[in-house]
Amino acid sequence: MPVKKALRLSRRTLLRGAGGVMVGLPLLECMLDGGPARAQTAAPKRYLVVFDGQSLGGDDDTLLSEFVPDTVGSGYDLKTALAPLGAAGVQPWVTVVSGMRIPTAAENGGTPPAGGRADDFHVSSASPLLSGVRSPSSSGRVYGPTSDQLLAAQLAGSTTFKSLVYRVQAAWYLSVSAPSGRDLISYKTDSSGNVVPIPAEVSPRQAFTQLFGNFVPPGVDPATAAAMDFQLRTRRSVLDLVHRRTERLVPQLGRADQLRLQRHFDEIRDLELRVAATPPPQTSTCVKPADPGPDPALGGNQGVDGGGNTTYDQNLGYSNEDDRAKSFIGLIHMAMVCDLTRVASLQLTMFQSHMNMYALTAQGCDLHEVGHFGAGRETTKQMAKAQAWHVKHFASLISKFASTPEPGGTMMDNTAMVFLLEGGHGFDPGSGKTWSSHSTENMACLVAGKVGGLKTGLHLQATGMHPARVLITAMRAAGYSGTSLGEVSGEIPGLRA
């Protein structure tokens, strides 16, 4: 560990000493991976949360799920939803935890208990699931910092990005309402001590530029390298100017505006530090990925006038989220290979998602409606098709990590990934239905990676336990020093050695 730190510092110091010009420097042999020093160092620990805005099973369908295996323990069976784990060959990296529940107000005299939720569904599970803090009403707000942000504070170290917060579903898609928190899965405590949401990046192109825009590919011609260096220096100067002006502006404002602009200033300062950071050395594994190209159009095709301008916003409920997911997963993988970040949250779909599923699963409705087809329509099987789309991308993330070697084996040996769903399947205290998708009974999630002794390739039944305990277990495996998440404490027995 100390060896590596010294090495990295020396290269950064070297680069800074050169006035930020990083081209044309000879790579010392010991800086390359596979060198004698590298072999002795431990890889960083990493933590990822991936979110699927669905429940486990559908309305009026007594089939619990096509997600949870029948077999308990090792060698579990793969039903429709988890079949992509088998197809990608990553099942040995994944443990399924099932049978969990989030308590509701109905069972506590009408008031949500600790770690519990209000009785009406859709988004009331967000706060207890992601932060372990009860939701006093059915609002979409999360009332405590989320697991990714708590861990980022401890894992980030000197990485350029404290965390990545990305969302695949590119828009809310309903024209007569607002998402009201359904679009958020990461919350942090800001510099004023308030719990605030972190709106996600939805543009893969923008994420690519921020992560890898300053990477100079090896062997690049001197003119290109000089142009890149020039642009980097202008970005820094411009941001420095914006920084100074924002800093002067804030105290001139009224109290509420001060708070508003202080948040903006904090983000400017963070961007400035990220742009000032020297890119890590490129190795046989850390390489600048291909530019994902322009983002797919938002909502479908745009109307275009004779001058080539967009004339109105059209909304067919789909922005090629399949491509967007692939791009984000590639970027997250490479960002972690290069140690630009150690924490990421990836919201594949929003809570109560209104993304059009037709292009993905040939289902002629939005994702939310898939769970509500109605009696006799095999809603659980329908939902599993959509879950499988989410799991396919989760499997692809695992596959990339598992095929990247690093000290200790592969990246999966140093990583904890958790795949969460919005709800479970069973009793809905709101409607009184026995089999409802509006339920936080029988919740399940996936955990992947072997960091900190996480056990993989198992199906564990954690009957009646709170799903935040899965997060706590994964967080602790990844090095978190706390023992609780919000109002929930304790790990899932058997999930960690």
Partner 1 sequence: MGLRSRRRWVILCLTLALGCEGKIVGREGPGGGTPSAASLKMGPTGAHRLSRDEYDNTVRDLVGDTAGEGFALLPEDAHDPFDNNYLTQIASQALVDAAEQLAIHVAERLLADPTRLRSLLPCTPTGPGDSACLKSFVSRFGRRALRRPLTDAEVAEYATLQSFAVEKGDFNVAVALVVQAMLQDPEFLYRVERGTPAAGSAGTYRLSAFEIATRLSYFLWGSTPPDWLLDSAAAGQLETRDQIRAAAVRLLGDPPAQERVDRFHALWLGFHQLPHPVALTQALRTETGALIKKVVFEDRADYFQLFTANQSYVNAALVTNYGLSAAPPASGYAWVSYAGTGRKGILSHGAVLSAGAKFGDTSPTQRGIFVRSRLLCEAILPPPPTVDVDQMPTSPTSNCKIDRYQSHSTNGNCNTCHRRLDPVGFGLEAYDTAGAFRTHDVNEPTCAISGDGVLDGVGNFNGPGQLADLLLQSPSFETCITTQLFRFALGRNETLDDAELITKLTRSFHDGQRRFDQLLLDVVSDDRFAYRREE
Q: Does 293 bind partner 1 (CB under 8 A)?
A: no
Window of 9-17, 117-125, 397-405, 410-418 that interacts with partner 1 by CB under 8 A: 117-125
| Separation of alpha carbons 46 and 452, rounded Å | 11
Q: State the nearest-atom distance from the C-beta of 185 to partner 1, in Å.
A: 13
Q: Of residues 53, 84, 204, 317, which one binds partner 1 by CB under 8 A? A: 317
Question: Applying CB under 8 A, which part among 93-101, 295-303, 388-396, 404-412 lies near partner 1?
Answer: 295-303
Q: What is d(CA 120, CA 124) in angstroms, rounded to the nearest whole number?
A: 7
Compute how many residues bind partner 1; rule: CB under 8 A.
Answer: 91
Q: Judged by CB, which is closer to partner 1: 428, or 487?
A: 428
6 burial (CB, 10 Å; 0-12 / 13-18 / 19+) is exposed
Site for partner 1 in 38-67 (CB under 8 A): 59
**Strands 164-167, 94-100: pairing kind:** unpaired
Among 278, 285, 431, 484, binds partner 1 (CB under 8 A): 431
Question: Restricting to residues 80-99, which ones interact with partner 1 according to CB under 8 A?
Answer: none
Q: What are the two backbone dihedrals, phi and then psi, of residue 211, each rounded to the nearest 5 degrees?
A: -80, -45
Residue 224, helix vs strand vs coil: helix
Q: Is residue 230 within the footprint of partner 1 (CB under 8 A)?
A: yes
Q: Distances from the Cα of 411 to the Cαs of 221, 224, 333, 399, 403, in angstroms?
A: 32, 32, 10, 10, 8
Decide if residue 323 touches partner 1 (CB under 8 A): no
In terms of CB distance, is 27 or 273 closer to partner 1?
A: 273
Q: Closest CB to partner 1 among 139 and 278?
A: 139
Least distance to partner 1 from the beta carbon of 416, Å? 23
Which amino acid is located at 415 in the chain? T
Minimal distance in Å, beta carbon 433 to partner 1?
7
Task: Tell me the HSE value of 326 on the side-chain side, using a 13 A CA sphere.
Answer: 9
For partner 1, the binding residue among 199, 217, 409, 453 (CB under 8 A) is 199
Q: What is the DSSP string of 169-187?
A: S-----TTS--TTTT---E
Residue ranges in 18-166 assigned as alpha helix (H): 36-40, 83-87, 126-131, 147-155
Query: For tokens 């008031």, what's the residue?
Result: 111
Rounded to whole angstroms, how far apart are CA atoms 46 and 394? 15
**From 14, 63, 201, 278, residue interacting with partner 1 (rule: CB under 8 A):** 201
Residue 299 as a binder of partner 1 (CB under 8 A): the answer is yes
Distance of CA 304 to the CA centre of its chain: 34
| Residue 221 or 305 with smaller CB distance to partner 1 | 305
Amino acid present at 9: L
The only residue of 3, 72, 242, 277 in contact with partner 1, by rule CB under 8 A: 242
CB of 415 to partner 1, least distance (A): 22
Q: Which of 217, 364, 482, 493 binds partner 1 (CB under 8 A)?
A: 364
Q: Of these, 29, 77, 107, 257, which contacts partner 1 (CB under 8 A)?
A: 257
For 17, 40, 410, the CA distances from 414, given in Å and listed in that order, are 33, 15, 7
> Per-residue contact track with partner 1, 156 to 185, x per CB under 8 A?
---------x-----xx--xxxxxx--x--
Q: Are 442 and 424 in contact (CB under 8 A)?
A: yes
User: Least distance (Å) from partner 1 to the CB of residue 112?
Assistant: 11
**Residue 425 is a binding residue for partner 1 (CB under 8 A):** no
Question: Cα(416)–Cα(480) distance, rounded to whole angstroms?
Answer: 12
Q: Is 237 in the site for partner 1 (CB under 8 A)?
A: yes
Q: How far is the CB of 90 from partner 1 (least distance, A)?
A: 30
Q: At what angle do helices 379-402 and 321-337 cross, to 10 degrees?
A: 30
Closer CB to partner 1, residue 89 or residue 293? 293
